[in-house]
Amino acid sequence: MKKFTLILLAAVMVSLNACQEENQYQAEESVIDKPDIQLTSDRMTPEVLWSLGRLSDPRVSPDGKTILYGVSYYSIEKNKGNRDLYAVDADGSNGLRLTLTPKSEFNAIWCPDGKKIGFLTSESGSIQLWEMNPDGSGRSQISDIEGGITGFKYAPDQTKIVYTREVPVNQKFEDLYEGLPNASGRVIDNLMYRHWDTWVDSYSHIFIADYDGKKVWNDKDLLAGEAWDAPMKPWGGIEQVCWSPDSKAVVYSSKKLVGKAYTLSTNSDIYLYTLDTGKTENLTEGMMGFDLAPVFSPDGNYIALESMERDGYESDENRLFILNTKTWDRTFATKGFDQNVGSLQWAGDSKSIYFTSDVKGTFQIYQFTLNNGNINKITEGLHDYRSVTLAGDLLIATKQTMALPTELFAVNPESGNADQITFTNKDLLDKLTMGKTEERWMTTHDGKQMLTWIIYPPNFDPAKKYPALLYCKGGPQGPLSQSFHYRWNYQIMAANDYIIVAPNRRGVSGFGQAWQEQISGDYHGKSMQDYLTAIDIMAKEPFIDENRLGAIGASAGGYAVFYLAGNHDGRFKAFIAHDGIFNEEAQYLETEEIWFENWDKGGAFWEFDNKVAQGAYKHSPHKYVQNWDTPILIIHGEQDFRVVFTQGMTAFNAALLRDVPAEFLYFPDENHWVLQPQNGILWQRTFFNWLDRWLK
């Protein structure tokens, strides 16, 4: 269930032409700009959290001098957000705001010659390709494709573009609907009919079209007549498609399966489409896990990609593989590394690859050198570098911490030293007091060493006694790192005078694959003991009130909360579970990615000879509800198809039938997350209202 982000300072200058265009847009529809929030204290609040700009998707100009990026701001009053484009030089100078419009601009990239910036926006009624000059002037529409497009990339020679758009699913039962234009029923005869938060009514397909700098035409569907996604939903985008340097071929990721086969397998592959012949080749046939994110080397001699080994295991080690385009030999580049790789970036000379990797609760930048296979760790520190790209002799990386939303940093690849080059939220953050983050290593019940993050309230006073919250991570695999989250935000919890205890329990990545895999088939075992170890050790501290402990979590963390509610021996005085799994047997049949359940539970609940599966279902949280006696807040969204909302509803009903104080915060229009500003603020207010009632 694993698997994702703003304005420069106010002194940024905007060109005259861009201003004239902006005034025109403002006359038609009001824009969403940086909020002018009046602080009432120096503490983080829900309103402040939703006022922060969210930076994402940096793109370096072909000459390596200028960084293009986007910033999203949200209007609480309008209950929506908007994204505009900015640029800054690699040394942090010459910041420029490029757009200020009521329609978001995204997928913004440089033309290969650096003379234009291409981007997507829905200004004309559907999402189309537009272009503008590097200063934001000269905005014009380039494509007019029926139904709109979802992503694009220029060919290196600028004679073509590759783009993606949605293609409707063929209606097998179309004749049944004849004369019934208002019928809302769906006739379904296969699995994977909905995914995460959408019904599967269309596939994402890849198209190649001619391009002359003024328009696109003569497009061709690379997957014509094929009933599968490329790129893959829900996480895959145009980053899963890459041009060859000579503009003669495209590589892309796809899992060419449908229905039941799709929901049981993670086996995606990398495909090569050659323009001259129209031929498609599978480059990773026989590699059975996820194969993703292909990237050609600048000289065209290699393709780097991310690859998992085992089919059905979405949290397998994410490895770096390199394909030789002359021989198609495959090299497992990070063999023995025992860490994940991501954000692959070739060096300009094609002799090495930069990437990010999670390690011990952080994300760092690494470099793999082809000629000797060496892997060099470039950066150190308590931070997350989540993407990396090349700008001349520097690396441009997105960096965040538990107290700093994403910003751009210029990193020296030799020393690892970094200079911040964007300051999106500086004026607001300078007015806030943040809590300290501390790393503690604890000895678990079975003698292992476990890193636990402790986040203290601002102006922490060790002479006082504070309530504490055990943070139960979702996933259940994946990192518990230095991310700045806009809902499960440690700083806003600390600002409400709670100490947060966040253990990197069994199942968390960044501590070797063996540590991560100890949770599969054993949600109820070692990881639960790890949670209790962490909170028991911290409860002995003189500044923590052992009689005011709470446990909180979402998704697999919600499972943990539900399980602990029946197995905590009076430790906790309040619980909060968001989108949590309550009934494992129901979850197996309600969810859509059955590969996940088969791997993490060991199989189906009707496999009575399967000891792993039977052990997992035996310890489903709902089988301990007779022990519930502690107040619990349950939150769920109806558009969550991954963990359906009836899981939260049944848990809430069970609590009330047990006469346990409970509340149910239900969102009919949210999915596995809470994405709308007013819903997000309601979430935070309800969250702290519940905790304050029972822990203060």
Q: List the catalytic residues.
A: 555, 640, 672
- CA-to-CA distance for 231 and 272, rounded, in angstroms? 13
- CA-to-CA distance for 649 and 582, rounded, in angstroms? 9
Cβ distance 617 to 601 under 8 Å?
A: yes
* CA separation, residue 213 to residues 109, 117, 130, 140, 165 (Å): 14, 11, 10, 11, 20
Reading the block at residue 649, the tokens are 């509803």
Cβ neighbours of residue 548 closer than 8 Å, sequence gap 6 or more: 466, 467, 468, 573, 695, 696
Comparing C-alpha atoms, which of 91, 234, 75, 222 is closest to residue 680? 75
Cβ neighbours of residue 615 closer than 8 Å, sequence gap 6 or more: 521, 522, 602
Which amino acid makes up residue 508?
V
Residues shown for the chain: 696
Comparing C-alpha atoms, which of 58, 649, 4, 691 is closest to residue 384? 4
Q: If 0-12 CB within 10 Å is exposed, 13-18 middle and 19+ buried, where does residue 148 land?
A: middle
As a whole number of Å, the CA-based R_g of the chain is: 25
CA 195 to chain centre: 16
Comparing C-alpha atoms, which of 283, 278, 287 is closest to residue 296? 283
Comparing C-alpha atoms, which of 117, 125, 123 is closest to residue 96? 117
**Residue 529 burial (CB count, 10 A):** 15
- CA-to-CA distance for 378 and 41, rounded, in angstroms? 39
